[in-house]
Chain A
Amino acid sequence: MTGRVIVITSGKGGVGKTTTSANIGTALAKEGYKVVLIDTDLGLRNLDLLLGLENRIVYTIVDVIEERCKLKQALVKDKKNPNLQLLAAAQTRDKSAVSAEQLKEICEKLKETNDFVLVDCPAGIEQGFQNAVAGASEAIVVTTPEMSAIRDADRIIGLLGPKEEITSVKLLLNRVRPNLIKTNEMMSVDDVAEILEIPLVGIIPEDTGIITSTNKGDPIVNNEEALAGKAYRNVAQRILGEEVPFLDLDEPKGFVEKIKNVFAKLKAKV
């Protein structure tokens, strides 16, 4: 078995890399694929919290690299889905504890026995980023519809371009708020896709459920009703090669709005 190694990156912090990693990983595992999530954010690890696995971590990626344990020992199985495993980052160390070569080696080993290896990249473009990207053959760039996030995503796409090993770079637009797009206060999905010129793999609506799911340590894909959960499940389907239409994020129109529309049309005719 040769699995796919996908790095989830963004440049800017706080746009939802870790949330995206946890949710795509969980969604793929739910489909029956064997998935390993690697947290490469040494010293500022969060992925374990989002999955609710912090209390199970005994060994981290640094212990594997410094040979205090075997790779298999350091993999923490998910509470709900044994197909999903986590290789946690060390909280008490920093980025320099790992080199790009070492991470690449770990990815190579893991993809032999798993369908997917998802690498959660730290913010920034320094060594942490270079490490995370080293073993990957695909990348998902997460951004939000804000100028600063888009600028940083553009920078990242530029850095990924020259890397020969990375054959596919896709865009995931996070925290989209349709009502703000409608009033032209937020850039539309098309605008962002046009600026960044890479194919879209997903559009995730802003969802307050993300906050509660993070605090509970239970990814939102496990919530059948949440819109963001559905959007993430669709992303997983697209990664698997299915053609899934993007969610219609328009909220159902109210009566007043409908009337307004009628008037607007009438006006246009006059």
Chain B
Amino acid sequence: MEKGFVENGFIIDLSNTKNTTQLVFELSSVMEHPEVKGKRICLKLGSQDLKQSQLLSIKALIESMDAEIAFIDTTSEQTEASAVSLGIIISKLGENVEVASYTASEQEIEEETVEVKEEALEQGSVEYEEKTVEVHAEIEREDVELISTIEGIEDTYTEETTQEISEIIPVEHFETDFESLAKSEGLITNEEMSKYIILDTGDVLPEGTEENTVDTKTLPTLYLNQTLRSGQTVNYEGNILIIGDAHPGSEIIADGDITVWGILGGIAHAGSKGNITAKVRALKLNAIQLRIAGLYARRNDTLNVPYVQKTNEFTPEEAQIEEGKIVIYKKLRRD
């Protein structure tokens, strides 16, 4: 696999990969590199046929690492069509430009190659930018329909769902699109894809408490403006509101709702006295365990984040019990 340098970005050559699975894994192994953050990625995809959903997944993977796709280079018509419908720029990397292979020990070469790549990138993208704009305008209408019919991707951010609250699709499976791609390749099963998996704990409600549906709005609220660190516990007979992050190893236990205006990384137990209407919400819901009333769920092992991942990109989520399951909504809603 070849990797090269472009202006504030990388060329990642995946044209030698045999199938989509290999492609994604090669790509994710490169994306793990800390230098990738904030960079523009140029993908050489060779003759790989990628469906729109698959390309969308790859895009999501790259964006999840705080990078963006600058353009892709492909010889496959299907991939090209998918890219056009997703508004991804297609370009040809100059054949005469040698892509310098990049390894950690070859850092010195960087400066020399940067200039060459810069040219290649600029030429390539300018040439094609016009083309994509044209084509894109034509299919724009179909585009909307297409996205909603993609199998396995529940896009809760589309306009329809934001307007009609009743139609929000519960995101029980936290499907980053990379996962649905992996699923289509048979790499992971349904159960492995859920963001949270119910723990079989037996009867865990404390003695003398029963399931109830007290309106959490009627409960008092504890307001905390601080970071909760490992080993710290907050326990309150009402709702808890935390302005700050709750680090892994911390515990928040509330009779009512738990709201974290920040990253929730520790354990959160809402409705700890059996209130099954209690909710947990956070700007980034990454709790190692989510507990609501007597229902305990562990974070999926595939989301292995042993430390708090500090981020400025927040994806507010809200968890609640529905039909004996913990369901996570990607949108905060009002009753």
Contact = CB atoms under 8 A, between A and B. Distances in A.
Contacts of B296: 58
A217 B299 CA distance: 14
A229 B36 CA distance: 31
Interface residues of B, number: 19
B306 A55 contact: no
Contacts of A73: 201-202
A114 to B, nearest CB: 21
A217 B248 CA distance: 15
B251 A79 contact: no
Nearest to B206: A68
Contacts of B232: 92
B304 A43 contact: no
Given A43-B231, A55-B288, A215 B306 contact: yes
B249 interface: yes
Interface in B180-239: 199, 201-202, 204, 230-233
B289 interface: yes
A57 B298 CA distance: 9
A45 to B, nearest CB: 8
A55 B299 contact: yes
B330 to A, nearest CB: 21
A57 B199 CA distance: 10
Given A49-B306, A91-B231, A58 B201 contact: yes
A147 B298 CA distance: 43
Counting chain A CB atoms within 10 Å of each CB, the highest count among B202, B231, B289, B296 belongs to B231
A216 interface: yes
Interface residues of A, number: 15
A223 to B, nearest CB: 16
B25 to A, nearest CB: 15
B201 to A, nearest CB: 5
Given A55-B289, A55-B298, A92 B304 contact: no
A145 to B, nearest CB: 29
Contacts of A91: 230-231, 249, 251
Interface string B279-304: 00000000011000000101101001
A54 interface: yes
Contacts of B251: 91-92
Contacts of A56: 199, 298
Contact of A58 (B199, B231, B249, B304): B199
A217 B230 contact: no
A92 B248 CA distance: 12
Contacts of A3: none
Contacts of B289: 55, 57-58
A54 B199 CA distance: 13
Contacts of B298: 55-56
A52 B288 CA distance: 11
Interface in B234-285: 248-249, 251
Nearest to B202: A73
Given A58-B296, A91-B249, A92-B232, A52 B201 contact: no
Contact of B231 (A49, A55, A92, A217): A92
Given A73-B202, A91-B249, A92-B251, A54 B306 contact: yes
B50 to A, nearest CB: 29
Nearest to B230: A91
Interface string A70-83: 00010000010000
B304 A216 contact: yes
Nearest to B287: A55
A92 B306 contact: no
Contacts of B288: 54-55
A54 B304 CA distance: 10
Interface string A204-235: 00000000000111000000000000000000
Contact of A79 (B201, B231, B248, B301): B301
A52 B304 contact: yes
A173 B301 CA distance: 32
Interface in A35-59: 43, 49, 52, 54-58
A52 B230 CA distance: 17
Given A54-B288, A55-B289, A217 B304 contact: yes
Contacts of B199: 56, 58
Interface string B62-98: 0000000000000000000000000000000000000
Nearest to A79: B301
A149 to B, nearest CB: 25
Given A58-B199, A91-B230, 16 more contacts: A52-B304, A54-B288, A55-B298, A55-B299, A56-B199, A56-B298, A57-B289, A58-B201, A73-B201, A79-B301, A91-B251, A92-B231, A216-B304, A217-B301, A217-B304, A217-B306
Top 3 A-B pairs, shortest CB-CB distance: A55-B298, A55-B299, A92-B233
26 contacts: A43-B231, A52-B304, A54-B288, A54-B306, A55-B288, A55-B289, A55-B298, A55-B301, A57-B289, A58-B201, A58-B289, A58-B296, A73-B201, A73-B202, A79-B301, A91-B249, A91-B251, A92-B231, A92-B232, A92-B233, A92-B251, A215-B306, A216-B304, A217-B301, A217-B304, A217-B306
Interface of A: 43, 49, 52, 54-58, 73, 79, 91-92, 215-217
